[in-house]
Structure 1
């Protein structure tokens, strides 16, 4: 009989540990995954979001697995929808961008650069390491 009691207590202890494991680890992870799926399914173009990397962006296009987001005027990048952490309210924004900023950025990128231009056809000067 004592062997049956120790076996029963061991099985009971294993069952309690399994239940505790499920309650403390698996169930919260399932809830978090379900909340993430609901968040992503409710997103649409024009929604401000924060990625898991902390990047604030506006959703421009949504695909099945990826999203195209605009991180500043005229600058877009493609991210996995899983990387969207949460939506962002206007009250949380510290800075505001407008289309005028995009025009200035476009002008800056089209201006020619000052200084020497690298010519791959011309060999480097061994003394100065320039061409």
Structure 2
């Protein structure tokens, strides 16, 4: 009888240990994966909201250019990619400041 009680208590303790282990794994996953990604997205949104004409940018497709015009009504940005060549992209596809990227290279 005593062995059955001990076995039952051990099984319950093992279940609690498993729950604690799963919670620990989820916390570690959040700290190393989700949180840095959220911070990066916040920085990108901040950059997109602070765009100005004349800013050197990189689009989501990897195209380097200079912002010529920002249209807040339809959330578009005109980007000059070569002398006289202007493309229109959605503001959410402008990801990085090209001048800071060139300095890091």
2:88 maps to: 78
Greater relative CO (CA pairs within 8 A, separation 6+): 2
Relative to total residues, which structure has the larger strand share, 1 or 2?
A: 2
Aligned length, in residue pairs: 92
Please give the alpha-carbon distance, in whole angstroms, between the structure 2 residues aligned to 1:86 and 1:49.
Answer: 6
2:70 maps to: 62
Instruction: Give the TM-score of the pair, scaled to structure 1.
Output: 0.62
Q: CA deviation at 1:3?
A: 1.9
1:22 maps to: 30
Instruction: Give the TM-score of the pair, scaled to structure 2.
Output: 0.76
Please tell me the root mean square deviation across aligned C-alpha atoms, in Å: 2.0
The structure with the largest alpha-carbon Rg is 1
Gaps in structure 2 of 5+ consecutive residues:
1-8
Q: CA deviation at 1:72?
A: 1.5
Please give the alpha-carbon distance, in whole angstroms, between the structure 2 residues aligned to 1:11 and 1:66.
Answer: 48
Gaps in structure 1 of 5+ consecutive residues:
93-131
Contact 2:48 2:95 survives alignment (8 Å): no
